[in-house]
Structure 1
Amino acid sequence: MTKTLSLYELNSIVTSVIDIDMSGDYWVVAELSELREVRGHCYMELVEKDELSNTPIAKASAKCWASRWSMLRPMFERITGQRLHAGMKVMLSVHAQFHAAYGFSWIVSDINPEYTMGDLARRRQEIVAQLKAEGVFDLQRELTLPMFAQRIAVVSSDGAAGYGDFCRQLADNSAHYIYNVELFAATMQGEAVERSVIAALNRIYSRHDSFDVVVIIRGGGATSDLSGFDTLALAENVANFPLPVITGIGHDRDESVLDMVAHTRVKTPTAAAQLLIDNLARTESMIDAARQSIVDCMQRRMQHERVRVESLSTRIPVMFSLVKTKEEARVDMLSRRIEAATQRRIATALMQIDSLQAKLQSAVNRQLVDARHRLQLIEQRVEAVNPERLLQRGYSITTYNGRAVRNATELPEGAVVETRVEKGKFTSVVTKNK
C-alpha cells in the first residue's frame, strides 16, 4: 500500500526545505497592489507587471510584523515624504516563511526608501514629459489672473484647518476687500485624492462663469499624503482648466506635478489668500495711478484750453462782426431762394391738383356706369330664378319639414308633405308602393 502523508506532515516537509534552502534575505522589487494594517501588522500584496501589456506576470503576499513595521514605516515616510500605498513601486528585503497551518508568505525585514524616491522621481518626470508632449504643461501659465479676482472657488476638505485659515486671511485683510468664497469639498489625502479633486473641478467647470479663479488648498495633513497630487489625470484636468488655478497644498520638500502645471504655486493656504489680496491691492494701486494720471492730464489740458480761450476772447468781437455781416447776406440770399422755390412748388402742385380732379371725375363716371350695368345683370339673373315665375309656368314646389324635396326615396312612409302651386298649396301623405 502506498504511504500517504497528512497535509500537516507535507507542509512541515516544505517548511523544512524552505528553512534549509532559502534561509537568507532577498532584495526584491515589486509594485504594491494592496496594503492594509491590522493590529499594527502590515499585510501587502505584491505584483509584477509586463512592461508592454501591463499584465500581471507574478504575484505574492508579504507581511511585516508590528515590531518591525513600527520602525520601517516612519523611516520610509520621513525620507520619501510619501506614505506606502497601492500602486507604489518598492524595494523590500524579505525572507521566505512557510507555516504548516497558514501557508507561504514573504516576511519583510527592511524597505529601501531611496529606490522608491527614484521611482517617484521617474514617474513624475514621465508625467511631466507626457504633459509637455500633449502641449498642455504650460497652458495654465498662459492664462491671466483677473485684476478683480474676488469670486473664488476653493477645492479643499470640508472643515479643514487650512480652509479656515484661508477664509480668515481673506476676511481680515487690512484693505477691507470683499471676496465671495465657495467651497467644493474634496478628499485631500489618501488614494481618493485624484478622483475627489477631479470631481470637484468638474462641478466648478459646470459653473465656471461664476468664478474668477480656483484655489486648491490643503492644510494640516502629513507630507506623506501628497502622492495623490502626482497623477497624470489630475494634472491634465488642471492644465486644461479654463480658469487660473492656484495651489497651496502645504509642503516645501518636493514640488508636486499639480504644482508644476498650476498657474501659481504657493506654500500654504494663507499664502494663497495673501496672493489674492496682493493681486487686488495691485489692481487698486493701478487704478489710483490711472486716476492720478487722468487728473494730471485733465489739469494740463484745462490750463491749455484756458490760455486758448483767453486768446480767442480777444479776437471774438472783430470776428463776430465779420461773421455777422457775412451770415446776414447769406440769410437774405437763402430767404429769396426759398421764397422763389416755394412759389414754383405751389404753382406745380395747383396744376397737378387740376389735372387729378379732371381725371377723378372721369373715373367716377365710368365706375358709376359699370356699376349700373352690373346691377342690371344681377337683377335679370335673380328674376330668372324667382320661384314665383316657376310656379306661373306650371311647376310646383314640394317641401317636407320646411325643406324642398329632391329625392322621393328619402321620404318615409306616412310623411306629410306640402306642395305649392301658382295659386295656393295643399298637403299630401306619402305612401310606398307594395
Structure 2
Amino acid sequence: MTNNPISLYELNSMVAMVIEHAMPKRYWVEAEVSEARESRGHLYIELIQKDDHTHTPIARASAKCWRTSWTLIAPHFERITGTRLKAGIKIMALVHPQFHPQYGFSWIVDDINPEYTMGDMARKRQEIIAQLKQEGVFDLQKELVLPLFAQRIAVISSASAAGYGDFCNQLLTNEYRFDFHTELFAATMQGEQIENSVVNALNAINEREDEFDCVVIIRGGGATADLSGFDTLQLAENVANFPIPIITGIGHERDESILDMVAHTSVKTPTAVAAFLIENLSNTLRRIDNAQNIIYRAMAQKMQHEKMRLEQLSTAIPMLFTMVKSKEEAQLDKYLHALSQHITSKLLTETMKIELLSNRIKPAIERHLTYLQHRIDLIEQRIELVNPERLLSLGYSITYCNGKVIRNEKELKAGDEITTRVMEGEIKSIVTK
C-alpha cells in the first residue's frame, strides 16, 4: 500500500488536463437527441447512437450548451428547421470535451448545423410519404367529395387559439348570411403532444361521423416553430383513412406538412379555411340559381309552344264543324227524300188494290179498307215516331263520329271528336272516357 495517496479532486484534475491536452480540437459529431431540457438559459441534452439494423443504442453521452451559445443557436435552429430541439431528432453538433473535477465529463456544444437536421427530417418525411403511397392511402382523402351543403363543421383546434376565433368569426359574419354549425374538439396544437391529441380528437369525431359534413384542422396565433408534430406517420394514416373530408389550415411558413399532403384540401390559415367553406356554399347557391333560370326558360318555351298549338286548333275547329255539318245535312236530306218516295209508292200501290177490289166485294172491301186504313194509321204513327225532326223536337239528339251515327259507346275511344245534333244546332265534343 502506497503512503502517498492523492485526492479525488487531484485525480479528476489530472484527467481534465489529459483530456485537454489529448483532445484540444472541436469535433463535428452526428447523434440522435434522446433527452433535452433547458435550465436557466442553458441546454442539457443526452445524445445516443443506434445500431442501423437493431435500432438499439450503441453509444451514449451527455452534452451541454451554455447560455451564451444557446441564446444564439436556438433561434437560428428553430427558424431553419421549423422545430425546437427535442428528443427524437438527429443533429450535427460542434463539440469539444470537458472534464470538470466536480461534475465529471461532458461534451460542450459550440454550434449545431440546422441543415443536417433539416436533411434528416426531409428523409423521414420522404420515408413516411413512400410508406403511405405503398399502403395505397396517400390519395384516399382526395377521392372524397365535399358535400355541396357543407355546413356542419367539426373543428380540431386549441380552444384558446386566436386562429380558432378568427375562423368562427368569419363563418358567422359571412356576406351571404350562410348558417354554419361548428363544434370544437379541443386538441394540443404545439409541442410533442400534437400527434396523440389530434388523433384522439379524430377518434371522437369518427364516433359521430354522421353528424358532420367535414373536419377542419386549424392552428393559428401560436409559435411558428415546432410544427413537426404534423409530419408523423400515425397522424397521416388517421387523416388519410378518415371517412369524411378533412381541410387543414395550420399556418405553415415552410413547405406543406405531410398532414397537408394527405388531407382533402389544404390552405394556409384558419381564415382561408373559412373562406373556402363559404365559397363552397356560394358555388352551390350559384348552381341552384342557374338551374332555376334554366327551368324557368324551359317552362316559358313550353307554354309558348302550347299556346300556339291551341291557337291553331281554335282556327281549325270552326272549319271542320262547317264541313261535318254540311255533310250530315246532305246525308239527312237524302234519307228523308228516300223515305218520302217509299211512302208515296206504297200508298199508290195500296190505293190501286183497293180500287180493283172495291167493285167485287164492297162489304169485304169496306172491311178490308177499314183494316188497311188502320194499318196505314199505324204505319204513319211509326213513321212519325222515327221522324228525325220529331225526335229532335222532343229533346233527343243524334251523335255522329266521322260522319257515322253512333249507336254503341264501344264505337268510341278517348280523344275522338263527336258531333251531337239537337233541334236547334249541333254540339262538338271530345271523348275523355
For 1:202-351, list aligned pairs within 5 A: 202-314=203-315, 323=401, 328-331=406-409
Summarize the Cα distance change of 1:307–1:186 in structure 2 as closer, same or farther, 3 Å threshold: same
SS at match of 2:45: strand
Q: Deviations over 1:324-348 (max 9, x none)?
A: 98795333789xxxxxxxxxxxxxx
SS at 1:79's partner residue?
A: helix
Q: Deviations over 1:102-127 (max 9, x none)?
A: 11111100000111111111111111
Judging changes above 3 Å, is the alpha-carbon distance between structure 1 residues 332 and 287 closer, same or farther for their aligned structure 2 residues? closer
Q: 3-state DSSP class of the match of 1:223?
A: coil
Q: Does 1:103 align with 2:181?
A: no
Aligned twin of 1:166: 167
Deviation at 1:60, TM superposition (A): 1.1
| Letter paired with 2:134 | A
What CA distance in whole angstroms lies between the structure 2 residues aligned with 1:95 and 1:326? 123
TM-score (structure 1 length as normaliser): 0.73
CA displacement 1:12-67 (0-9 Å, x = unmatched): 22212111111211101111111111111111011111122221111111111111
2:334 corresponds in structure 1 to none
Given the superposition, is the C-alpha separation of residues 293 and 13 from structure 1 closer, same or farther in structure 2, using an over 3 Å criterion? Answer: same
> Which residue of 2 is the match for residue 70 of structure 1?
71
Quote the residue 1:373 is aligned against: none
Output the CA distance in 1 between the equivalents of 2:118 and 2:183.
36
- In structure 1, the partner of 2:127 is 126
- Distance in 2 separating the partners of 1:314 and 1:251: 76
Question: Aligned partners of 2:400, 2:250: CA distance in 1, in Å?
Answer: 80
User: Aligned Cα RMSD in Å?
Assistant: 2.1
The CA deviation at 1:227 is: 0.7
Identity in percent: 64
- Work out the number of aligned pairs and report it: 334
Residues 332 and 48 (structure 1), Cα distance of their counterparts in 2 relative to 1, 3 Å cut: closer
2:155 is aligned with 1:154 = yes
Equivalent residue number for residue 419 of structure 1: none
Name the structure 2 match of 1:379.
none
Provide structure 1 residue ranges, at least 5 long, that are not aligned to the other structure. 335-434
Distance 1:326 1:261, change over 3 A: farther
1:258 maps to amino acid = L
- Where do 5+ consecutive residues of structure 2 fail to align? 325-398, 413-433
Q: How much has 1:252 moved relative to structure 2?
A: 3.2
1:378-418 CA distances to partner (integer Å, 9 max, x unpaired)? Answer: xxxxxxxxxxxxxxxxxxxxxxxxxxxxxxxxxxxxxxxxx
CA contact (8 A) 2:156 2:215 kept: yes
CA distance in 2, matches of 1:47, 1:205: 39
Poorly superposed stretches of 4+, deviation over 4 Å:
313-328
Is the Cα contact below 8 Å between 2:161 and 2:222 reproduced in 1?
no
| 1:306 counterpart letter in structure 2 | K
The residue aligned with 1:114 is 115
Q: 2:88 maps to what in 1?
A: 87
TM-score (norm 2): 0.73
More deviation, 228-237/48-57: 48-57
Q: Secondary structure at the match of 1:35?
A: strand
Question: Residue 198 of structure 1 aligns with which residue?
Answer: 199
Q: How far apart in 2 are the matches of 1:107 and 1:302?
A: 90
